[in-house]
Amino acid sequence: MPVIKKAESVLRKGRSGSAVNQGPDVWAKATGKAVYGTDLHFPGMLYGKVLRSPHPHARIKGIDTAGAYAVPGVRSVLTAGDIRNKSYGIVVEDEQPLAHNRVRYIGDEVAAVVAVDEDSASKALEAIKVEYEPLPAVFDPAEALLDEAVQIHDSCPGNIAWERDMERGEPERAFAGADLVVENSFSIPSVHPTYLEPIACVAVSDYMDNLTIHTALQSPDVVREIIAGALDLPLSKVRIIGPVMGGGFGGRVYGNLKLYLLSSLLSMHTGSPVKMRLTREEEFTVGRPMIAARMKVRMALRRDGTFLARESDIITDNGAYSAQAPWVSKTLSERNDSVYRIPNIKTRARLAYTNKVPTAQYRAYGNQAANFAYESLIDQAAEKLGLDPLQLRLKNCTHSGDVTVHGLDIKSCALSECLQKAAEKVGWNNRKEGCGYGISAGIHASGSLVANKDFRGASARAVLELDGRVTIYTGEQEYGQGAYGAFVQIAARTLGLEPQLLTIYCRDSLVTPHSQGALANRQTTIGGRAIQLAAEDLKILIEEAASEMTGEPVKMKGGSLAAASGKLIRFEEVARYHHHRTSGLTLTGEGRYVPPHTDYDETSYGNISVTYSFAAHAAEVEVDRETGALTVHRIVAIHDSGHIINPPGARGQIYGGVTQGLGFGCYEGYVFDRGKVANSSLADYRIPTALDVPRIDCHFIETDDPEGPFGAKGLGEVVQVPVPGAIANAVADAIGVRVTNLPITAEKIYRAMFKGECAE
Amino acid sequence: MSYTVVSNLDQAVEALAKSAGKARVVAGATDLFLGNLPSELVDISTVPDLLGINRDPDCLSVGAGVTHAGAAASPVIRLKAEALAEACREVGSPQVRNISTLGGNVVNAAPAADAAVALVALGAKAVLLDLSGGHREVAVEDLYANYNLSVVDSSSEILLRFLLAPAVRGEGSAFLRFAPREALSLPLVNAAARVRLKGNTIEAIRAVIAPVSPAPTRLNETEKLLLGSKPGQDTWRRVEYTAAAEVDVRGSMLRCSAEYRHHLVGVLARRVIRKALERALDSKEGGDGR
């Protein structure tokens, strides 16, 4: 196949022939050889399916599973009464593997069936009889917070899953003394991460009571603990092995815990491997989209444009169960306060239960949702004050050395340069006739504290194998973002070896170091730093062993080992020398990176992250003045992610993230019809196609961060943050009125222009 | 399930006759898996009789098995039935266009099928073959029994080709669609028009809009307004208003409101008629024999 060989060589070498590091599994993915969860097959494997509630809220009066057992090929049927059904949760323990007495949304898991194939399992589902007593349901999060609202969880009175009242400085005084106060209300729908591969898993419970779950996760080590806890298994008996991950975008941090738990229970009951996978429709109806948000925001300014204070009243829509929604709500409600110097903040945020699909997280963690609201409001203020939106931002933006209103310690920040560069590149002062221009600025934590304040860093091992190659053991996760490519580069650079001599071993909780996983922009910054330290450690160990072996000082440099006498030593020799001397151990460098100074107090004040990435995006758009049709011509994305380790990979992050930001801003969003997801297919839940993607100009302003490996900071999430706000501001610039609810569709623009709807 | 690939029309007729109503004709099969699968399928996509694009002075014949990509790339169709080429360029995605056929697009009877809208505007007739070897010709707009339901019974009839009058000098056609995204998206509104001029007067016009009823819908009032007129600046507001007023539209929570769709019908009708008219004017001046 000469064509493929040629393509392979181009892909591997890069067009110019220079070494481009796309990560170890790029070629396997491009040729279809990569093995994903849905491809897995084990001898004797059975297939599981879930019976789901057709009601948004109902009492279960009885379940009759006899019919299901009569279907040929069915091996087991489980209901809540058949299992221990322990409560579990990530922040709030509000879920059980199967609904017990009550269902809380359309899709709630009522029974699980396992059979010899998926068709038999589906037939069995139809044969299960469930008697429901429908209960009143609540779908609107603001209504759910009213006193008279139906209560969804007895343990969470008032339907509040999480809430927060926060005040910094003296906001009331600042508002009273302001020259200008602007305000508006914004709404952002739930969005799905829409990874290409629907979630799939195979659970294998063996005769020694070990449970191995084969599934691709961003945070397998954290999920492993939740599963062991929910199933009452010793942690050491639970293992997670990851196939290749078909995208994650935050949606696979904890994936679909229900699916893992049910497949495990079915495997434990039958003694056979059990495969379960979500259909695309199930991804939308029972997968975990990001919370929807409504934001009422006010801002106080001095006449010269100085930001004085901001006040926000935020309601986020949790759906029926909580997962990470409290954490997402927290980031949504505070992260944007650190983009600018705003000394006084008042925020009330409430996460309300509703009888809708449960939520979780998505790339950028709600930061992009709030950014849309706050950046829109800044443009409103600029207009009122007669100031250039760019100058207003430059006047107030955060700089290196700042400690922000929430205590974030900003050690490196090129936001001001990003803003200026974005404006210059988009033609801010040299505008095309008929186009609208908008700009937006964002921050995202890189390596933030997540679930556990005491587990802040990462660890890694670097092993010199007997053949002279080096294997890096990491618990961090590759899901297409290029983490492993960057890791290879970091280790290769530290050891002075060619990247081809390095292998990454990963995705096996029994072997790889425990990690918090691929989230919080931490892979390169934190995981990469641990790999750098492990490689440094290995280098010292190799030099020591080689010196001992030869009896003279040996240095490792430029990919070779040279003794003081000039004699060259092969890596295999040193590896074998150590191996024999220790009766079988390998030279193993250990890297443990514990970031300094990350903590927060009970009001959440503190330096919550190792470092912070910044970005400014500018949009050039055109609006059809008759139909409202929006064409986004260009997004200019300027990023401060510190030193860029892998430039092609980093640009890829920007292209993908900006495209998703465009989807978030202009295309996507759940539509509900009395609690039922109305757009549960990729035909109706529209993400941008290749033809919808504008020209994306990206550029890096490289700061030298003191913490990240070689000065690197995270990039994967901040890329999406400024996009919806930049587009919203460009649309407002083009048509003179503002669309305040996402997505910004042609019809909404038309209504804003001609009907005065959604306008300020 | 049985799947029979036939290589000529005799085999196709024989296979359908043998199945006695159980088999269905299939070509591109792009929508086949969206519904319940029939137990027997007869694949006619490689029958040579269905693949030709032939031009006589008075008649352009386009085989029902011609793919959307094939029609969009055909120099004859681009020159003589420009609206059809434009519509075919907009269907689905490249992968879909490479296998989906014009015949399938019409018999599938989706109310917003782009090629069907263009075919109706161009005044195309469908030629159908029944199992006894008889032929009948039916105007494309008369092939619709209801939403997503064709009068063509594909267990006993085969759509062979479309016949239409090629564009002459002083004539132009155009197609436009308005959709929420650039590919793989059903249009909120699509529109096509064919206009023939005598001097500067509109001598013939067909203007079509969808999806406003089961079939692509002629804008009769708008056509009446323009027929025999010399359109000037003041005409176009009235065209927009008349077109919007003469159709009944529905709104949906996933697409758009009825009010917005009404507005779009007016705007697209005006734009597509103007575009066809401009092409008609160009063809007069061009003198290239069109």
Give the integer Cα–Cα distance in Å for A458 and A531. 9
Of A673, A689, A747, the CB nearest to B257: A747
3-class secondary-structure state, position A460: strand
Q: Residue A571: inside a domain, yes or no?
A: yes
Q: For residue range A75-101, list pLDDT tens digits in order.
A: 999 999 999 999 999 999 999 999 999
Q: Residue B75: inside a domain, yes or no?
A: yes
Q: What is the pLDDT of residue A525?
A: 78
Nearest chain A Cα distance for residue B202, angstroms? 26
**Touching check for B183 and chain A: CB below 8 Å?**
yes
Q: Residue B108: inside a domain, yes or no?
A: yes
- Are residues B208 and B281 located together in one domain of the fold? yes
Residue A3 has pLDDT above 50, yes or no: no
**Touching check for A454 and chain B: CB below 8 Å?**
no
**Touching check for A189 and chain B: CB below 8 Å?**
no
Q: Distance of CA B287 to CAs A599, B82, B165, B168, B170, Å?
A: 79, 17, 19, 10, 9
Q: For residue range A330-357, list pLDDT tens digits in order.
A: 999 999 999 999 999 999 999 999 999 9
Q: For residue range A552-561, list pLDDT tens digits in order.
A: 999 999 889 9
Contacts of B258 in chain A (CB under 8 A): none
* Prediction ipTM score: 0.95
Q: What is the pLDDT of residue A10?
A: 41
- pLDDT > 90 fraction of chain A, expressed in percent and rounded: 85
Contacts of A629 in chain B (CB under 8 A): 178
Residue A592 has pLDDT above 60, yes or no: yes
Least confident of A280-289, A492-501, A516-525, B173-182: A516-525
Residue A89, C-beta contacts closer than 8 angstroms, at least 6 positions apart? A95, A321, A322, A323
3-class secondary-structure state, position A622: strand
- Are residues A474 and A447 located together in one domain of the fold? no
- Are residues B197 and B271 located together in one domain of the fold? yes
Residue B6, C-beta contacts closer than 8 angstroms, at least 6 positions apart? B12, B15, B42, B43, B44, B47
Strands (E), B53-200: 53-55, 60-63, 125-130, 135-139, 144-146, 149-150, 157-164, 171-178, 189-198
**Touching check for A669 and chain B: CB below 8 Å?**
no
* Number of inter-chain CB pairs under 8 A, A vs B: 43
Q: Which domain holds residue B210?
A: 171-286
Q: Residue B222: inside a domain, yes or no?
A: yes
Last residue of a domain, one of A593, A612, A630: A593
SS (H, E, C) A57-80: CEEEEEEECHHHHCCCCEEEEEEH
Q: Do B181 and A686 touch (CB under 8 A)?
A: yes
Q: Residue A691: inside a domain, yes or no?
A: yes
Rg of chain B over CA atoms, in angstroms?
Answer: 19
**CA neighbor of A353 nearest in space, from A82, A146, A53:** A146
Residue A427 DSSP label: T
- Are residues A416 and A464 located together in one domain of the fold? no
Cβ–Cβ under 8 Å, residues A75 and A270 = yes
Give the integer Cα–Cα distance in Å for A362 and A323. 12
Look at the block and give the residue holding tokens 């799947």: B3
Averaged pLDDT, B18-47: 92
Residue A127 has pLDDT above 90, yes or no: yes
- Are residues B159 and B176 located together in one domain of the fold? no
Mean pLDDT is highest, among B33-37, B218-222, B280-284, for B218-222
3-state helix, strand, coil in chain B (%, to 5): 40, 25, 35
- Are residues A543 and A517 located together in one domain of the fold? yes
In chain A, the number of structural domains is 4
Q: Residue A522: inside a domain, yes or no?
A: yes
Cβ–Cβ under 8 Å, residues A658 and A247 = no
**Touching check for A691 and chain B: CB below 8 Å?**
yes
Least confident of A24-28, A379-383, A466-470: A24-28
Contacts of A751 in chain B (CB under 8 A): 260
Pairing of strands A46-52, A274-277: parallel
- Are residues B180 and B276 located together in one domain of the fold? yes
**Touching check for A627 and chain B: CB below 8 Å?**
yes
Q: Amino acid identity, residue B188?
A: L
Q: Distance of CA A658 to CAs A363, A593, A665, A734, B118, Å?
A: 12, 31, 10, 21, 36
- Are residues A666 and A577 located together in one domain of the fold? no
Last residue of a domain, one of A567, A593, A619: A593
Q: What is the pLDDT of residue B36?
A: 83
Find the residue in A nearest to B251 (Cα): A747
**Touching check for A667 and chain B: CB below 8 Å?**
yes
Nearest chain B Cα distance for residue A691, angstroms? 6
Of B93, B185, B267, the CB nearest to A686: B185
Q: Residue A28: inside a domain, yes or no?
A: yes
- Are residues A586 and A608 located together in one domain of the fold? no
Last residue of a domain, one of B116, B131, B164: B164
Give the integer Cα–Cα distance in Å for A59 and A133. 5
**Touching check for A324 and chain B: CB below 8 Å?**
no
Last residue of a domain, one of B140, B164, B188: B164
Cβ–Cβ under 8 Å, residues A591 and A531 = yes
Of B182, B186, B267, the CB nearest to A627: B267
DSSP state letters, A106-151:
TT-EEEEEEESSHHHHHHHHHT-EEEEEE------HHHHTSTTSPP
- Are residues A368 and A260 located together in one domain of the fold? no
Give the integer Cα–Cα distance in Å for B122 and A174. 68
**Touching check for B34 and chain A: CB below 8 Å?**
no
Q: Do A689 and B264 touch (CB under 8 A)?
A: no
- Are residues B100 and B129 located together in one domain of the fold? yes
pLDDT classification of A758: cutoffs 50, 70, 90: low
Q: For residue range A566-591, list pLDDT tens digits in order.
A: 999 999 999 999 999 999 999 999 99
Q: Do A747 and B267 touch (CB under 8 A)?
A: no
- Are residues B184 and B281 located together in one domain of the fold? yes
Cβ–Cβ under 8 Å, residues A516 and A219 = yes
- Are residues B73 and B182 located together in one domain of the fold? no
Q: Do B183 and A690 touch (CB under 8 A)?
A: yes
Give the integer Cα–Cα distance in Å for A263 and A274. 6
Give the integer Cα–Cα distance in Å for A628 and A743. 13
Q: Residue A157: inside a domain, yes or no?
A: no
Q: Amino acid identity, residue B208?
A: V
- Are residues A207 and A84 located together in one domain of the fold? yes
Residue A646 has pLDDT above 90, yes or no: no
Of B186, B254, B257, the CB nearest to A678: B254
A677 φ, ψ (degrees, to nearest 5): -70, 120
Nearest chain A Cα distance for residue B132, angstroms? 40
Nearest chain B Cα distance for residue A626, angstroms? 7
**CA neighbor of A413 nearest in space, from A401, A427, A431:** A401
Chosen from B236, B253, B261 to mutate, greatest number of chain A CBs within 10 A: B253
**CATH code (residue B231):** 3.30.390.50
**CA neighbor of A692 nearest in space, from A731, A658, A740:** A658
**Touching check for A684 and chain B: CB below 8 Å?**
yes
- Burial annotation A269-304 (CB, 10 A radius, 16+ → b, else e): bbebbbbbbbeeebbbbbbbbbbbbbbbbbbbbeee
**Touching check for B254 and chain A: CB below 8 Å?**
yes
- pLDDT > 70 fraction of chain B, expressed in percent and rounded: 98
Nearest chain A Cα distance for residue B171, angstroms? 27
- Are residues A308 and A445 located together in one domain of the fold? yes
Q: What is the pLDDT of residue A22?
A: 54
**Touching check for B39 and chain A: CB below 8 Å?**
no
Give the integer Cα–Cα distance in Å for A70 and A127. 9
Q: Do A750 and B263 touch (CB under 8 A)?
A: yes
**Touching check for B184 and chain A: CB below 8 Å?**
yes
**CA neighbor of A461 nearest in space, from A541, A549, A579, A558:** A541
Nearest chain A Cα distance for residue B97, angstroms? 15
Q: Residue B35: inside a domain, yes or no?
A: no
Q: What is the pLDDT of residue A451?
A: 67
- Are residues B159 and B186 located together in one domain of the fold? no
Residue B16 DSSP label: H
pLDDT classification of A5: cutoffs 50, 70, 90: very low
Residue A4 has pLDDT above 60, yes or no: no
Q: Rounded mean pLDDT of chain A?
A: 93
**CATH code (residue A471):** 3.30.365.10
**Touching check for A119 and chain B: CB below 8 Å?**
no
- Are residues B148 and B213 located together in one domain of the fold? no
DSSP state letters, A623-651:
E-TTT--EEEEEEEEEEE-BS-S-HHHHH
Give the integer Cα–Cα distance in Å for A149 and B207. 53
Nearest chain B Cα distance for residue A658, angstroms? 17
Nearest chain B Cα distance for residue A662, angstroms? 12
- Are residues A440 and A487 located together in one domain of the fold? no
Last residue of a domain, one of A548, A568, A593: A593
Of A626, A679, A689, the CB nearest to B182: A689
Q: Do A689 and B93 touch (CB under 8 A)?
A: yes
Q: Do B254 and A692 touch (CB under 8 A)?
A: no
Q: Residue B230: inside a domain, yes or no?
A: yes
Q: Distance of CA A409 to CAs A307, A366, A606, Å?
A: 20, 21, 8
Q: Which domain holds residue A22?
A: 2-34
Of A684, A691, A751, the CB nearest to B254: A684
Q: Do B178 and A629 touch (CB under 8 A)?
A: yes
Q: Residue B11: inside a domain, yes or no?
A: no
Give the integer Cα–Cα distance in Å for A39 and B282. 57
- Are residues A589 and A709 located together in one domain of the fold? no
Residue B288 has pLDDT above 50, yes or no: no
- Are residues B157 and B206 located together in one domain of the fold? no
Q: What is the pLDDT of residue A759?
A: 45
Q: Residue B28: inside a domain, yes or no?
A: no
**Touching check for A689 and chain B: CB below 8 Å?**
yes
Nearest chain A Cα distance for residue B186, angstroms? 9
**CATH code (residue B71):** 3.30.465.10
Residue A514, C-beta contacts closer than 8 angstroms, at least 6 positions apart? A221, A459, A475
- Are residues B119 and B179 located together in one domain of the fold? no
Find the residue in B nearest to A672 (Cα): B253
A265 in the Ramachandran plot: left (φ > 0), alpha (ψ -120 to 50) or beta?
alpha
In chain B, the number of structural domains is 2
Least confident of A350-354, A600-604, B31-35, B113-117: B31-35
Q: Rounded mean pLDDT of chain B?
A: 95
- Are residues B58 and B112 located together in one domain of the fold? yes
- Are residues A604 and A588 located together in one domain of the fold? no
Q: Residue A153: inside a domain, yes or no?
A: no
Q: Residue B8: inside a domain, yes or no?
A: no
Q: What is the pLDDT of residue B170?
A: 96
Chosen from B93, B254, B265, B270 to mutate, greatest number of chain A CBs within 10 A: B254
Find the residue in B nearest to A692 (Cα): B182
Of B178, B182, B257, the CB nearest to A692: B182
- Are residues A375 and A498 located together in one domain of the fold? no
Last residue of a domain, one of B112, B146, B164: B164
